[in-house]
A = this chain, B = another copy of it.
């Protein structure tokens, strides 16, 4: 049996994954469907879409961008080789749990100053990124103060219950990936795309 770690109750793989599963299940219920529809609307209206995020949030941003490309959207990842300039009429989608990642907030500010719409996926709507955003999709993760079920998340963290499960934001990223995949499913329905359409655009050279 693994060492007892700071009183963490997750003492085996089965209990660890069970706690992650519980968090997914609980948090999914808190997603605001109106925010999802608002995000879908700006996606459908955008000339070009740019996604961005740092660290693991950046990977979720890329996973979302890949699917948007499969759906035929004109989508780019900030910082990749052939990503062009943002222009009025474009949409930037930024993913940041805390909403305070320095370079992400800076790039959102630059984009905003060019008349570009900002959509954000964040746990903190009142963050620097949140304040710059036209559309906010709140995804609860490690940064939210109030946790589902009336109990305070920070309190649970202090008790160590989620400590080894949520290092540096795991839950936020998994949840963002799940939520954005559901956004893709909804988008597919809205534009009438089939899996065959997606397959046709799926990268061959990889």
- A contacts, CB < 8 Å to B: 2-3, 5-6, 8, 10-14, 16-18, 20-21, 24-25, 28, 31, 33, 36-37, 50, 52, 54-56, 58-60, 62-63, 65-70, 75-86, 92, 101-103, 106-107, 110-111, 114, 163-168, 170, 173-174, 177-179, 181-186, 188-190, 192-195, 198-206
Q: When chains A and B are docked, how far (Å) is the Cα of A55 from the Cα of B31?
A: 27
Closest to A5 in B: B189
Q: Name which of A16, A68, A70, A199 has the most chain B CB atoms within 10 A of its CB.
A: A16
Residue in contact with A189 in the complex, picked from B8, B85, B177, B205, CB distance below 8 Å: B8
List 5 A-B residue pairs with CB atoms under 8 Å apart, sorted by A's residue number. A2-B186, A13-B36, A59-B59, A68-B82, A69-B84
Known: A50-B205, A182-B13. A66 touches B79 (CB 8 A): no
Residue in contact with A77 in the complex, picked from B3, B24, B80, B204, CB distance below 8 Å: B80
Judge whether A168 and B198 touch: CB under 8 Å.
yes
Q: When chains A and B are docked, how far (Å) is the Cα of A185 from the Cα of B65?
A: 28
Secondary structure type dominating chain A contacts: helix
Judge whether A168 and B103 touch: CB under 8 Å.
no
Residues of B within 8 A of A189 (CB): 2-3, 5, 8, 10-11, 16, 164
Q: When chains A and B are docked, how far (Å) is the Cα of A101 from the Cα of B110?
A: 13
Judge whether A181 and B174 touch: CB under 8 Å.
yes
Known: A167-B70, A204-B110, A206-B103. A20 touches B181 (CB 8 A): yes
Judge whether A192 and B3 touch: CB under 8 Å.
yes
Residues of B within 8 A of A177 (CB): 173-174, 177
Q: Name which of A75, A92, A110 has the most chain B CB atoms within 10 A of its CB.
A: A110
Known: A178-B21, A188-B167. A81 touches B79 (CB 8 A): no
Known: A24-B178, A83-B203. A63 touches B2 (CB 8 A): no
Q: When chains A and B are docked, how far (Å) is the Cα of A59 from the Cα of B165?
A: 20
CB distance from A140 to the nearest CB of B (A): 14
